[in-house]
């Protein structure tokens, strides 16, 4: 009998010593709005259920250590995982050490995983529109000080579901006219934003164009697989994790 997988493996060409996954909302013990594999302690779920879910995730992915959980604040802060402890305010972590698990939590925002082609350095990035605007991707990439990087865009809200105000579009266009193609006008004066395209434009400005993978899911539509804050407001989070041997 086939074993049901409660995570997604990135569809990228990472070196063999790089391991990564995004957990789905299935396979855990949480109930109600948080059903069932919610690893986030800050969303109102029962703490004991969350702790059990984290144990489930560690076991099913055979993690080498407890993930470095961040206090995500929609910023551009990227921290060195070796020098950090859990729940530091930041929205990205990176490391060149083996056995350390970088992780971010999302439920519509974009999780990005990064590694170099030699498998010597990794990073996990949480990028909502505020983080993208603030430069969380560029700050993380620059902190890694590596060339020849691969990037995987994990599950986020899709381009047909992410409605934003005109002020959000204006803020991006003030940074660069390149962002214009990531917005589509709606009849109600709002705009549909393509968070995947916004990230790709950021990455292209850093010279990362050919080795960008993923960006095919919609957390808002795929309700059986993913949590979505926009869809449910009170809900859990997916964990997107990366580590190296």
The number of beta carbons lying within 10 Å of the beta carbon of residue 71 is 12
Q: Which of 57, 85, 55 is nearest to 71 (CA)?
A: 85
Q: What is the CATH number of domain 7-157+208-244?
A: 3.60.140.10
The Cα angle at residue 184 between residues 75 and 208, in degrees rounded to 5: 50
User: Mapping DSSP to helix (H, G, I), strand (E, B) and coil, where does residue 52 land?
Assistant: helix
> At a CB cut-off of 8 Å and minimum separation 6, what does 10 contact?
20, 21, 22, 113, 152, 154, 213, 214
Q: Which of 184, 91, 212 is nearest to 140 (CA)?
A: 91
Q: Alpha helix locations (H) across 7-88?
A: 47-60
Q: Where are the domains of the chain?
A: 7-157+208-244
CA distance 2 to 4: 6
User: Mapping DSSP to helix (H, G, I), strand (E, B) and coil, where does residue 103 land?
Assistant: strand
Q: Which of 243, 198, 239 is nearest to 72 (CA)?
A: 239
Q: Residue 226 in contact with residue 24, Cβ under 8 Å?
A: yes
The widest CA-to-CA distance across the chain, in whole angstroms, is: 55
245 residues of the chain, pLDDT tens digit each: 346 899 999 999 999 999 999 999 999 999 999 999 999 999 999 999 999 999 999 999 999 999 999 999 999 999 999 998 889 999 999 999 999 999 999 999 999 999 999 999 999 999 999 999 999 999 999 999 988 999 999 999 999 999 999 999 999 999 999 999 999 999 999 999 999 999 999 999 999 999 999 999 999 999 999 999 999 999 999 999 999 99
CA distance 166 to 189: 7
């Amino acid at each position: 009998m086939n074993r049901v997988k409660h995570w997604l493996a990135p569809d990228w060409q990472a070196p063999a010593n790089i391991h990564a996954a995004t957990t789905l909302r299935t396979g855990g013990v949480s109930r109600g709005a948080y059903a069932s594999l919610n690893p986030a302690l800050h969303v109102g779920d029962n703490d004991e259920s969350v702790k059990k879910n984290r144990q489930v995730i560690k076991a099913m992915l055979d993690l080498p250590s407890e993930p470095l959980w961040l206090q995500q604040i929609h910023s551009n802060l990227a921290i060195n995982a070796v020098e950090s402890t859990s729940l530091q305010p930041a929205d990205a972590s990176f490391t060149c050490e083996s056995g350390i698990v970088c992780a971010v939590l999302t439920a519509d925002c974009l999780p990005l995983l990064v590694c170099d082609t030699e498998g010597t350095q990794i990073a996990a990035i949480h990028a909502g529109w505020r983080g993208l605007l603030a430069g969380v991707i560029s700050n993380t990439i620059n902190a890694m000080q590596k060339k020849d990087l691969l990037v995987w865009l994990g599950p986020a809200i899709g381009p047909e579901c992410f409605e934003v105000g005109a002020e959000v579009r204006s803020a991006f266009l003030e940074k660069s006219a390149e962002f214009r193609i990531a917005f589509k006008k709606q009849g109600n004066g709002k705009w549909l934003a393509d968070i995947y395209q916004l990230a790709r434009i950021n990455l292209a400005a850093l010279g990362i164009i050919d080795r960008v993978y993923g960006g095919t899911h919609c957390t808002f539509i795929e309700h059986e697989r993913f949590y979505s804050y926009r869809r449910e407001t009170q809900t859990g989070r997916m964990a997107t994790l990366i580590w190296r041997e």
